[in-house]
A and B are shown apart, each in its own frame.
Chain A
């Protein structure tokens, strides 16, 4: 009988806790959701400066990259004042970072130029690999054409002491550029 009594008390404590958590969850959920959307909107605006509104492509329209270490997770078509898209913002993740996955948002305009890159998430070494998120490195990609080689030691320079981090970003951008080249007709 004692087991039943103890079990019942535990259940009671669990239920009270669950009730409290449900309350906090529903209080904070809309705020968290709102922040997420606002952050995404800001990031897209950052990489595709002429966007006014955007629209996400369905998951079913995503085709895998030809590299097992990288994936495209989201594609957003950016629209300006006209009906046709001004470009795409592509969110991709590479597993080849030095400290873990690197998540990047890449903006590519309709005339095949890279308009912006934002490192959304990374775990590279502070002070070395973390420089992939800073202007001198990111700036090298800007206004490059997606037909360019986009390769370290060709048209890009690696960060000193962070070759692997630089390579990982460059390779992901290259794969995404290639992806856009192959699929761009479908988005017009």
Chain B
């Protein structure tokens, strides 16, 4: 049980995909213009991550080592298309707003990374904990980042205006430069808060 909790918290703090590993940054920066988009992207990615971790942990012992990568990709792509079609059917507004970034979840390194580094080597139940943790860590960052950007750039939260007047939104926060400002500040705060900077090693990636 303790191990599961550790696996779960690993994705939220110790190895938070966005702030610590710095992977999956592309969709994070691109869709975090409004809180609704952030939440939508977060849940879509978490669903795919959970599905792929679960499936890969289940089949990990029968997958030949030589062709594990193509098999992982097929599994991930399948879950992404399921997400894409279901969103188009049940959340058309969100699907329209997120556009191309839903199909692009296929190449989000968080998912491939967890498949290769975790799910293909650990039990089903631990892989689920890992997928949930990583996904929730991703959702939290997206909500924080998109919340800051929507508030500062548009003066709204979830589309609701602030209850007082006199706040002039800074448009730049919802433009691409604002994403970099906000994520930079968030990384600085996070690293300071959890003092992981020195012992975290150098796990860098890009996406």
A residues whose Cβ falls under 8 Å from a Cβ of B: 5-6, 9-10, 13-14, 17, 20-21, 24-25, 28, 31-32, 35, 39, 125-128
| Cβ B81 vs Cβ A126 within 8 A | no
By a CB distance below 8 angstroms, the chain A residues around B86 are 24, 28
Let me know if A10 and B71 touch, CB within 8 A. Answer: yes
Please indicate the chain A residues that have their CB under 8 angstroms from the CB of B67 in the complex.
6, 9-10
| Bound CA–CA A100/B86 (angstroms) | 27
Cα–Cα distance between A14 and B169 once the two chains are bound (Å) = 49
Contact (Cβ within 8 A) A17 B74: yes
Output the nearest chain A residue to B172 by Cβ-Cβ distance.
A127
Contact A126 to B85, CB < 8 A, known contacts A6-B64, A6-B66: no
- Cα–Cα, bound, A10→B67 (Å): 8
* Contact between A21 and B66, CB atoms less than 8 A apart: no
B163 interfacial contact with A, CB 8 Å: no
- Complex-state Cα separation, A28 to B91, whole angstroms: 12
Interface size on B, residues (CB 8 A): 25
Whether the pair A31, B90 counts as a contact (CB closer than 8 A) is yes
* B92 close to A (CB within 8 Å): yes
A20 to B82, CA, bound (A): 9
A24 touches B85 (CB 8 A): yes
- Chosen A-B contacts, 26 in total, with CB atoms closer than 8 Å, are A9-B64, A10-B67, A10-B70, A10-B71, A10-B74, A13-B74, A17-B75, A17-B78, A24-B82, A24-B85, A24-B86, A28-B85, A28-B89, A31-B89, A32-B89, A35-B92, A125-B175, A126-B33, A126-B171, A126-B175, A127-B153, A127-B154, A127-B169, A127-B171, A127-B174, A128-B171
